[in-house]
Structures are given as structure tokens and as C-alpha cells.
Structure 1
Amino acid sequence: MRVHRVSDVLSVSIRYTYTRDGYFYFQRAVPDDLRQVYGKRVVKQALKTTSPEIAARKVAPSECLP
């Protein structure tokens, strides 16, 4: 899990994310029993934001998945 600096005082870690060129991306492994449905081992999605706060909100629903 990576830690993203929000300000000089605050840093947050957002599960299943990484940054590239300042933009956040979501990445999560697909469970074995669903790989045939998705056709891949990993799901990746651009979150289209440079803000850690917005990225955290966009990722929050996926945290409910097993």
C-alpha cells in the first residue's frame, strides 16, 4: 500500500491505487473463480484525478469486495 502526501502534515494510504505522472489508477487482482468471466488476472482503471481525496472516494466502493 502506498502513502500519498496530501499536505505537509497529512498523508493517506489508499488501497489498490498507484500513481503515474501524477494521476491515480486503481488496480486489483481478479479472484480465481472470476478470471474466466473477466478474461484477465488484474483489473486496472484510470481514476482520472490527481487528488488523493477524490481517488479515495472513487475507490471506496471496491473496498467492499472480497
Structure 2
Amino acid sequence: MDWKETPEAHVFKADLPALKKEEMNVEVEDDRILQIRGEKNVEKEDKNDKWHRVESSSGYTISF
């Protein structure tokens, strides 16, 4: 998440792999908390696969 402040606004930029704009929900709570939420589909797992590292999760929630 990148966050910069300009004289006109605060600008937030988030990289959320595998999420489309329509799969995300952006809200402001209590006029001060920015919530960005999204959920992507989890790939079907083969029980014979052996994972060594997983960097992506099945959902995202970012709060500021």
C-alpha cells in the first residue's frame, strides 16, 4: 500500500493481485477509517501437491 498526501487529497494505491475492481469493497468508517476489502477464489488444491511457499492469501482487508 502506497499512501501520499497532496495539497488536494490523500492518495492510496494498493496492489491486490488476482482481484478485479468489482470484487473489492472500499468504505470509510466513522469518517476516519479507510477499509479496503476483497476476496479472491482459492485455487483447487491437489492432495498430491507439495507446497514450499505461499505468498497470496484468499482474502484482503486493509485498514487505515
Same fold (TM over 0.5): no
When you count helix as a share of all residues, which structure comes out higher? Answer: 1
